[in-house]
Amino acid sequence: MSREPTKKFIIFTDLDGTLLDYSTYSFESALPTLQMLRERDIPLIICSSKTRREIEYYRKKLGNSHPFISENGGGIFIPRNYFEFTFYIPLFIVEVENNYHVIRLGSKYSDLRAAVEALRREGFKVRGFGDMTVREIAEIANMSTYEAEMAKVRDFDEAFIFEGDEEETQRLLDAIRAKGFNHTRGRFFHILGDSDKGKAVSILIELFKKKFGKIKTVAIGDNPNDIPMLEMVDYPVIVQKPNGTHDPRIDIPNVLKAGGVGPEGWSKAVLALVSQID
């Protein structure tokens, strides 16, 4: 009996609290698994709320040369010549910028900043990264000033903090929607346009299908802003929060709950899935 051809494995991953430790941003415990992925030529696609510059910084540390998705699905960056075919994405313009083909899904950052300023005039106590100094961002996000500088250079998504109870929070989210924007929540609140991680992931999945034929897809996250990404793949995985629990707000069919916090859980899940599917 002939064996069905092996399906190419594609992994999409969040960074903060998932591949990166929540407090130290370390991925040391995942190093052996990352090496295994490189040896097997399994694409690892970063899909994060982080900015392009932040992701490029971590891609270099990770030795990663694959496409990536920035700012909660706002932009897709595909290294030039990564796909050996010409591609067209309906409804979106594919721009060539330096060493990338760039697909913009998100709103202009200037429009998001204007919306934040309008919310503040309406009485909401919101402060976006655009309102903060580099040092302030470094302190609230527990990162170096160098990383905070990269986090402040935004294209498609404004991260912000908000002071208010649950009722005030709901009023804020309603006001964001009334202005024609969407929102999501990870470590910070985010205001963004008609984009999310799932839409960006679905575009790359189609490109990988064209490249490899049959594929199997995995996504790994830890926060509700990962839900759209998790819903797009064959194997959705969530890792534990620092307190050892899985986020109860992530309630989707067939989600796999990794036994471990951050990169430890990430590594266990990847190893188990690769061995199961191979």
Q: Shortest CA distance to 13 belongs to which of 271, 270, 188?
A: 270
Burial of 192 (0-12, 13-18, 19+ CB in 10 A): buried
Q: For 80, phi and psi rounded to 5 degrees?
A: -60, 140
Annotate 238-265 with DSSP letters as a single string.
Answer: EEEPTTS---TT---TT-EEEEEEHHHH
Task: Return d(Cα 114, Cα 95) in angstroms, integer.
Answer: 25
CB atoms within 10 A of CB 162: 17
Burial of 227 (0-12, 13-18, 19+ CB in 10 A): buried
User: What residues pair up with 237 in beta bridges, in sequence order?
Assistant: 220, 256
Task: Return d(Cα 259, Cα 162) in angstroms, integer.
Answer: 32
* 131 has catalytic annotation: no
Give exposure, 74-107, as e/b (b: 16+ Cβ within 10 Å).
bbbbbeeeebeeeeeeeeeeeeeeeebbbbbbbb
Catalytic residue ranges? 14
